[in-house]
Amino acid sequence: MPARSDVRPAPKDERLDLEPRIKLWVEKDGLLVLSDFRVQLLQHVGETGSLAEAAERMGLSYRRAWGKVREIERNLGRRLVDSEAGGAGGGGSRLTPDGERLVALYRRFRLAMEGDLAKEFRDLFKQ
């Protein structure tokens, strides 16, 4: 029985099982501002209302989380987190409007790029 002409062989690179990967970040003046890690930290601050809690979720010390937030703000030139007095575990923290906005934008940016990655790779490598 002859091969059916409507049954095409699997595209060559499907057999190769290649997987595209992407790393995204955002810089200002060559300095790192937003990345998956940084935005995750900021998002935890927004969700928990506490930098100490956000640090714990990220497996970071409070000091390191605090330093990371300040580094992002310094590189960006904007406040992203407002903290009330109280020190570690004491006062609460919340995202500023700039912080809320950048977290939301970065997450949409990341989702859009993941969609583009899958589409471009499929279009080029699997056909």
Taking the complex as a whole, the smallest distance from the CB of residue 34 to its own copies amounts, in Å, to: 8
Per CB under 8 A, residues contacting its own copies are 13, 16-29, 33-34, 76-78, 105, 108-109, 112-113, 116-117, 120-121, 123-125
63 or 108: CB nearest its own copies: 108
4 or 15: CB nearest its own copies: 15
49: closest CA among 4, 109, 89, 106? 89
Say how many C-beta atoms besides its own lie within 10 A of residue 126's C-beta: 13
Taking the complex as a whole, the smallest distance from the CB of residue 45 to its own copies amounts, in Å, to: 20
Tokens 């020190």 map to which residue?
Answer: 87
Stated as kind and residue range, the H or E segment containing 93 is strand 93-95
121: closest CA among 37, 3, 6, 17? 17
88 or 105: CB nearest its own copies: 105
Taking the complex as a whole, the smallest distance from the CB of residue 71 to its own copies amounts, in Å, to: 16
